[in-house]
Amino acid sequence: MLQIHNNLTKRKESFVPIDPKNVRMYVCGMTVYDLCHLGHARVLVVFDVVYRYLRQVYGAEQVTYVRNVTDIDDKIIARANERGEKINQLTDHYIKEMVRDADALGVQHPDEEPRATRHMDEIIAMIQTLIDKGYAYQAGNGGTLGDVYYDVSHFEHYGQLSGKNTDDLRAGARVEVDAAKQDPLDFVLWKAAKPGEPYWESPWGKGRPGWHIECSAMATCCLGNHFDIHGGGLDLQFPHHENEIAQSEAATGEKFVNVWMHNGFVRIDEEKMSKSLGNFFTIREVLEKYKPEVVRFFILNSHYRSPLNYSDKHLDEAKAALTTLYNALRGVTPGEGGDVQAYTARFDAAMDDDFNTPEAIAVLFELAREINRLRNNDALVTGQLAAELMRLGRCLGLLQKSPGEYFEEIEVTEQMIAARASAGASIDIKVIRADEKKKIEKLIEQRSLARENKNWAESDRIRDELAAQGVVLEDGPQGTTWRRE
RNA sequence: GGCUGAGUGGCAGAGUGGCUAUGCAGCGGACUGCAAAUCCGUGUACCUCGGUUCGACUCCGGGCUCAGCCUCCA
């Protein structure tokens, strides 16, 4: 049975869906004013795997995954102003870029991707409900008329998720005191628009939502007042998720979420990667050096709640490990059936244990070794094991390409295209790839001829020539195979 | 200061009250024209000090160290 570490109770618990016919999960997605960095990649990949596994357990049609986009906030306004763009020009652009990155990483699309600006009615309605129920107030003297705040003192369970109590929070020197707030812990639900700022009409005048309310509104709108899983990066635990609980439960009078999941940080040199520290890598930058599947493997080779240290060395290791896995699949024709239960069971047991992907990956390597042991003796069983390896890999979003695709695919650069264009050759990427492949295979043929004649010098020369292009040759009983490094 | 989480072999990273994680790198062997890939074999690993126990890396307590949250951040 699936066990999940619930951050609300700080314990691993058996996962019992509210409705097994409709398991519902909401994950806080991006605020779209810049390219996604590796921290975002981790959220995308981790919850993609959660989604895939839930679909496997409960059925593909029985899971609803919602990942929102926050497309209005102070940083977006600031960035749009810097660039002299309209905010939706900016946000549309970065949403596209985000989708590109997510697709590259093999992240499946959520069932819904609501945007804050398209749920303004629900947001305003929820704020109104909070005011009506006495959980929110308009700023009085000293505040900007039209600001609406959430009254934390009215919400009994405030601090449960983050393990904080309101007295400690008030005592903390870092809580900024704002004259408009009745209590320093109160947070803004609706911000009055300053001149020149984008705004929506509301009962409190022109303005925009505060940071947390949009998630409460979108989550309850898409998934109902009470749903199963809410996820996001650990840095959202406080105050964002704490405030979401306060808003949602006060407004609906129902429990908001059963299970809270937070993935750990990506670190660089033992320090959190973050925008404020400026020590982040964008997904785009990393994908210039490593295949997306390598990045995905790197992320999943650590448990989602552990810190993940980024370095080229670790990515190189991930690449080597993935190569081993794909090597096992080479030259094998997958076949159904066979006695693979032991592997399935161990893999599922690992996933059932709070999505223990490193343990699940270990099972993949054991399959690979067994395939390599048997490949020259038992084609039938080898094929069955290979099919199992790919099937388990699918649950992690790994090993879904053919080994040929994985090893032979070349990066077609702008320069290559330009060079070919000026030479009058086709600039169709498929044609370029085919041409490159032909060139390599021609050289391999020449080398095979040399080897038949025991002309080792020529044979090695060709091998070195290809190696210089990043092509590795492997001589086997069935001839020579090649792969790109 | 308050509150979390973590400290495992050369590196990365799971896990368990007594029994092989796994990967990368290393070493020895097989295979190979040589390689590569692969297979076989190989490494006195569990921060520290006490306690519980027949037995603890694994449970409990103290200490040390690291990271994070308490302010925007996935």
| SS3 assignment for chain A | CCEEEECCCCEEEECCCCCCCCEEEEECCCECCCCCEHHHHHHHHHHHHHHHHHHHHHCHHHEEEEECEECCCHHHHHHHHHHCCCHHHHHHHHHHHHHHHHHHCCCCCCCECCEHHHCHHHHHHHHHHHHHCCCEEECCCCCCCCCEEECHHHCCCCCCCCCCCHHHHHHCCCCCCCCCCCCCCCEEEEEECCCCCCCECCCCCCEEECCCHHHHHHHHHHHCCCEEEEEEEHHHHHHHHHHHHHHHHHHHCCCCEEEEEEECCEEECCEECCCCCCCCCEHHHHHHHCCHHHHHHHHHCCCCCCCEEECHHHHHHHHHHHHHHHHHHCCCCCCCCCCCHHHHHHHHHHHHECCCHHHHHHHHHHHHHHHHHHCCCCHHHHHHHHHHHHHHHHHHCCCCCCHHHHHHCCCCCHHHHHHHHHCCCCCCHHHHHHHHHHHHHHHHHHHHHHHHCCCHHHHHHHHHHHHHCCEEEEEECCEEEEEEC
**What confidence tier does A55 reach under pLDDT thresholds 50, 70, 90?**
very high
pLDDT digit string, tens, across residues A61-115: 999 999 999 999 999 999 999 999 999 999 999 999 999 999 999 999 999 999 9
**Is residue A85 situated within a structural domain?**
no
CA of A242 to C1' of B29 (A): 59
pLDDT classification of A142: cutoffs 50, 70, 90: low
Q: Is A350 part of any domain? A: no
Task: Name the residue closest to B74, CA to C1'.
Answer: A233
pLDDT band with cut points at 50, 70 and 90 for residue A189: very high
Please count the structural domains in chain A.
Answer: 1
Compute the mean pLDDT over every residue in chain A, rounded to the nearest whole number: 93
Question: What does the pLDDT look like over A404-437, one tens digit per residue?
Answer: 999 988 878 888 888 888 888 888 888 998 899 9
CA of A263 to C1' of B16 (A): 24
Share of residues in chain A with pLDDT > 70 (%): 97
| pLDDT at residue A173 greater than cutoff 70 | no
* pLDDT at A144 > cutoff 60: yes
**The complex's ipTM?**
0.96
Residue whose CA lies closest to nucleotide B72 C1': A276
Q: Is residue A450, in this structure, part of any structural domain at all? A: yes
Classify residue A443: in a domain, yes or no: yes
List bases, strand B, within 7 Å of protein CB. Answer: 1-5, 11-15, 21-25, 32-40, 66-74
What would the pLDDT profile of A438-482 be if each residue is shown by its tens digit? Answer: 999 999 999 999 999 999 999 999 999 999 999 999 998 888 999
Give the nucleotide nearest to A322 (CA→C1').
B23
Q: State yes or no: pLDDT of A33 exceeds 80.
A: yes
Q: Flag whether A80 is in a domain.
A: no
Average pLDDT over every residue of A330-346: 93
Whether A209 is in a domain gets the answer: no
Q: For residue A464, what are the domain limits?
A: 428-484
A454 inside domain: yes
* Residue A56 maps to a domain: no
pLDDT at position A278: 86
The tens digit of pLDDT for each residue in A190-239 reads 999 989 899 999 999 999 999 999 999 999 999 999 999 999 999 999 99
The separation, in Å, between residue A337 CA and nucleotide B66 C1' comes to 49
Q: What does the pLDDT read at residue A105?
A: 97
- Mean pLDDT computed over A140-169: 85
A159 CA → B1 C1’, Å: 18
Spacing of A350 CA from B7 C1' in Å: 23
